[in-house]
C-alpha cells in the first residue's frame, strides 16, 4: 500500500496552492485532481481580480500556471477521484477510483463547492458567453449593460445590488411572490432604481447567437394569468446557492447545516486531527480564488506543523 505524509484532494486554487507550500516544506504531497482539474475557475473566461495578472488571465491558463508551479517543486499531481475515506485511525486510508489505496498522515480537503443551476441545457450552451454563477467574478464584463439575477435570498439580493453598481439595468427573477432575503437586503433591492424585481417568474430557456441575448420567461406558471414572454438581457447570473463537495467526508468531518466543513476559527483545522479543509468547501461567505489560495497556504502550513509535533 502506498503512503504519503500529505494527501491533497482537489485541484482548484486551494489545492494547487497547498501543493506548492507542502512541496516546499518537503512533505512530498500527492494531489488528486478530481473530476475537473482546476476546479470551478476553469469555466471562467477571464480572471481580472487575481493579483499578479495586470492584463487579466484566462481561468484555465491561471490554473495551468498554478499546476506547473506545484509540479516544479515536486508535487505528485495525479488524475483520479477519491471514492472513500477512513478517518478512524492514523494514518488515514483513502481509496482511489482505480481501486488503489493510499495511507496519508495528513489530508487537505480542497474539493470546492458547486454552484446550483436551474438545470437548463441553455445554461451549458451559454457558459462563458453570458451565463455566470459569480457576479463578483464576471460582473465587470457587463458594465452599462442589462443583466438578470436568478434567486430571492440574501445572495441574490447582494449580487443584484453589486451588479446595479456596474450595469445599466438589473432584473431580479424570483420564483416566489416574495423575497426570502433579510429585511435590510430586501430594502436595498426594492429601493434601488436600477433593479426591477420580477416576482412569480420562472426561466424556461435562454436565446441568442453567438452569445446570450435574452431569456424565455413565464409569469404565474400553472396559475390563472399565466404569461410567456422574452426578456432581452446581456448577462444571466445564477444566485440560488452553492453545494459544498463535502459528502464524501461525512459524518467523520463536521459540517454546518449547508454542508460546509467546519474549521477551528481562522485556521483550516477540522475536528479530525491531521485533516484540514481549504477553499470553497469550507467557505460559505467569500468564494473567491484569492481567498481559496490563501486558505490552501494555511492548510499546508498547518499540515507541516502537525507532522512536526
Please pick, among 134, 157, 167, 269, the residue that the annotation labels catalytic. Answer: 134
Q: What is the pLDDT of residue 28?
A: 97
Q: What is the pLDDT of residue 155?
A: 86
134 noted as active-site residue: yes
Q: What is the pLDDT of residue 40?
A: 75
291 noted as active-site residue: no
Q: What is the pLDDT of residue 203?
A: 98
Please pick, among 138, 234, 280, 283, the residue that the annotation labels catalytic. Answer: 138
| C-alpha pair distances (Å), 232 with each of 146, 157, 210, 217, 250 | 8, 20, 15, 10, 43
6 noted as active-site residue: no
61/193 Cα distance (integer angstroms): 38
Please pick, among 137, 167, 269, 297, the residue that the annotation labels catalytic. Answer: 137
- Beta strand 235-238 pairing with 242-244: unpaired
Q: What is the pLDDT of residue 45?
A: 66
Q: What is the pLDDT of residue 48?
A: 83
70/17 Cα distance (integer angstroms): 7
Dihedral-angle region of residue 145 (phi above 0 means left; psi in -120 to 50 means alpha; beta otherwise): beta
Q: What is the pLDDT of residue 85?
A: 97
Q: What is the pLDDT of residue 39?
A: 77
pLDDT digits (tens, 9 = 90+) for 204-249: 999 999 999 999 999 999 998 999 999 999 999 999 988 999 999 9
50/36 Cα distance (integer angstroms): 21
Q: Which residues of the chain have pLDDT under 70?
A: 43-45
Tell which residue, 161, 155, 154, 239, has the closest CA to residue 194.
161
Amino acid at each position: 500500500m502506498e503512503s504519503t505524509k500529505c494527501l491533497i484532494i482537489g485541484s482548484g486554487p486551494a489545492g494547487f496552492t497547498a501543493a506548492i507550500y507542502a512541496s516546499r516544506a518537503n512533505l512530498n504531497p500527492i494531489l488528486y485532481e478530481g473530476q475537473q482539474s482546476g476546479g470551478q475557475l476553469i469555466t471562467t473566461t477571464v480572471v481580472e481580480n487575481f493579483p499578479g495578472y495586470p492584463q487579466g488571465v484566462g481561468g484555465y491558463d491561471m490554473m495551468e500556471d498554478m499546476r506547473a508551479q506545484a509540479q516544479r517543486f515536486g508535487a505528485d499531481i495525479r488524475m483520479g477521484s477519491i471514492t472513500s475515506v477512513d478517518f478512524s485511525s492514523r494514518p488515514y486510508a483513502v481509496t482511489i477510483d482505480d481501486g488503489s489505496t493510499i495511507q496519508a498522515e495528513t489530508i487537505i480537503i480542497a474539493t470546492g463547492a458547486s454552484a446550483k443551476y436551474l438545470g437548463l441545457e441553455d445554461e451549458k450552451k451559454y457558459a462563458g458567453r453570458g451565463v455566470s454563477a459569480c457576479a463578483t467574478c464576471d460582473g465587470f464584463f457587463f458594465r452599462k449593460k442589462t443583466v438578470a439575477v436568478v434567486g430571492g435570498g440574501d445572495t441574490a439580493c447582494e449580487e443584484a445590488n453589486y451588479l446595479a453598481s456596474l450595469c445599466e439595468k438589473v432584473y431580479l427573477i424570483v420564483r416566489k411572490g416574495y423575497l426570502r432575503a433579510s429585511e435590510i437586503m430586501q430594502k436595498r433591492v426594492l429601493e434601488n432604481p436600477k433593479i426591477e424585481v420580477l416576482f412569480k417568474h420562472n426561466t424556461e430557456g435562454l436565446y441568442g447567437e453567438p452569445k446570450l441575448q435574452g431569456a424565455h420567461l413565464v409569469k404565474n406558471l400553472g396559475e390563472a394569468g399565466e404569461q410567456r414572454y422574452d426578456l432581452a438581457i446581456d448577462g444571466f447570473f445564477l444566485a440560488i446557492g452553492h453545494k459544498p463537495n463535502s459528502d464524501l467526508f461525512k459524518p467523520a468531518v463536521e459540517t454546518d447545516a449547508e454542508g460546509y466543513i467546519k474549521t477551528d476559527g481562522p485556521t483550516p483545522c477540522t475536528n479530525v486531527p491531521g485533516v484540514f479543509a481549504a477553499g470553497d468547501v469550507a467557505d460559505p461567505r467569500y468564494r473567491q480564488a484569492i481567498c481559496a489560495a490563501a486558505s490552501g497556504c494555511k492548510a499546508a502550513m498547518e499540515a507541516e506543523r502537525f507532522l512536526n509535533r
